């Protein structure tokens, strides 16, 4: 129960520029190992027009179906589903923890948002050189936004997520520390992103959401 333990015992609440919690040690060593070993393509090594964003993963047809020269579809991030869960037994255990009534009720109380009918969505992300993310607020279907960092490549701490005020002035950067991260309740003026920064090798993260739309992982009643 690393995630819940982190929330209860290793978290820090902040109100600036919006309410959020920073989490220390939310993952166990086996979950981290699966994130590190997840096979995720490097767009810079393929014949694709990479603009530095994750939109490449779900946008143009050639990115979904394979590069124009043929071959299997490229995979720039990895959603954990029941179909591939056997390859990620420890991350599946992590998802089960998020599904548990105890966990989602505690998170619900913290953010004052009902999660009892929600679903869990988890994806492994591996950002490479050139990645950036413009300031944005998440879609309303994302009830909770959470990003957990895995920094085994000794990348700069500044590669964490940038938080902005309502005027899009950068207020802070959540540091890209190993086994560290944050969560917040999605809503207006929860502006976040990542300015263009130097990624030497890779920026691995686990993106975690409670969402209103259906996934393979409904929370417990």
Backbone angles phi, psi at 52, to 5 degrees: 95, 0
35 found inside a domain: no
* Mean pLDDT, range 36-51, rounded to an integer: 65
The verdict on 69 and 137 lying in the same domain is no
Mean pLDDT estimate for the chain:
87
Determine the pLDDT at residue 154.
93
What CA–CA distances, in Å, run from 11 to 5, 37, 152, 171?
A: 9, 27, 21, 20
The verdict on 87 and 187 lying in the same domain is yes
Q: SS3 for 182-217, per residue?
A: EEEECCCCCCEEECCCCCCCCEEEEEEEEECCCCCE
124 found inside a domain: yes
Taking alpha carbons only, the member of 99, 209, 94 closest to residue 146 is 209
The verdict on 130 and 57 lying in the same domain is no
Q: Which domain holds residue 23?
A: 2-29+78-212
Determine the pLDDT at residue 43.
60
Backbone angles phi, psi at 36, to 5 degrees: -65, -40
* Mean pLDDT, range 138-165, rounded to an integer: 95
**Number of domains within the chain:** 2
The verdict on 185 and 118 lying in the same domain is yes
Total-model pTM = 0.87
Q: SS3 for the chain, per residue?
A: CHHHHHHHHCEEEECCCCCEEEEECCCCHHHHHHHHHCCCCCHHHCCCCCCCCHHHHCCCHHHHHCCCCCCCCCCCEEECCCCCHHHCHHHHHHHHHHHCHHHHHHHHHHHCCCCCCCEEEEEEEEECCCCCEEEECCCCCEEEEEEEEECCCCCCHHHCCEEECCCCCEEEECCCCCCEEEEEECCCCCCEEECCCCCCCCEEEEEEEEECCCCCEECCC
Determine the pLDDT at residue 45.
59
The verdict on 164 and 205 lying in the same domain is yes
220 found inside a domain: no
172 found inside a domain: yes
User: Higher pLDDT residue, 140 or 31?
Assistant: 31
Instruction: Assess contact for 216 and 88: CB atoms under 8 A.
Output: no
The position carrying tokens 């143009």 is 60
Determine the pLDDT at residue 51.
47
Residues 6+ apart with CB under 8 A from 146: 181, 182, 183, 184, 207, 208, 209
Please state, for a pLDDT cut of 90, what percent of the chain lies above it.
70
Determine the pLDDT at residue 42.
66
55 found inside a domain: yes
The band of 157, judged by pLDDT with boundaries at 50, 70 and 90, is very high
Instruction: Assess contact for 77 and 124: CB atoms under 8 A.
Output: yes
List, in sequence order, every residue forming a beta bridge with 205; answer none if it has no partner.
125, 149
Q: What angle do CA 128, 79, 68 make, to 5 degrees?
A: 60
The verdict on 122 and 45 lying in the same domain is no
20: domain CATH number is: 2.60.120.620
Q: Does the pLDDT at position 140 exceed 70?
A: yes
142 found inside a domain: yes
Q: What is the pLDDT of residues 54-90, one digit of tens each?
A: 444 444 444 334 344 444 444 567 899 999 999 999 9
The verdict on 88 and 148 lying in the same domain is yes
Determine the pLDDT at residue 131.
81
């Amino acid at each position: 129960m690393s995630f819940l333990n982190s929330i209860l015992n290793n978290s820090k609440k902040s109100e600036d520029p919006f309410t959020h919690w920073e989490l220390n040690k939310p993952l166990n060593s086996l979950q981290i190992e699966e994130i590190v070993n997840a096979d995720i393509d490097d767009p810079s090594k393929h014949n694709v027009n990479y603009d530095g964003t994750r939109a490449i993963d779900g946008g143009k047809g050639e990115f979904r179906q394979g590069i124009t020269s043929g071959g299997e579809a490229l995979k720039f991030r990895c959603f954990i589903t029941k179909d591939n869960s056997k390859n990620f037994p420890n991350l599946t255990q992590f998802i089960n923890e998020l599904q548990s009534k105890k966990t989602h009720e505690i998170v619900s109380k913290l953010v004052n948002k009902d999660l009892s009918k929600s679903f869990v969505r988890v994806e492994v992300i591996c950002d490479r050189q050139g990645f950036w993310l413009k300031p944005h607020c998440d879609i309303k279907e994302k009830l909770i936004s959470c990003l957990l960092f895995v920094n085994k490549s000794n990348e700069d701490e500044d590669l964490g997520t940038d938080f902005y005020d309502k005027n899009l002035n950068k207020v802070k950067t959540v540091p890209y520390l190993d086994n560290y991260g944050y969560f917040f309740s999605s809503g207006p003026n929860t502006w976040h992103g990542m300015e263009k920064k130097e990624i030497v090798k890779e920026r691995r993260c686990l993106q975690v959401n409670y969402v209103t739309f259906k996934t393979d992982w409904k929370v417990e009643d």
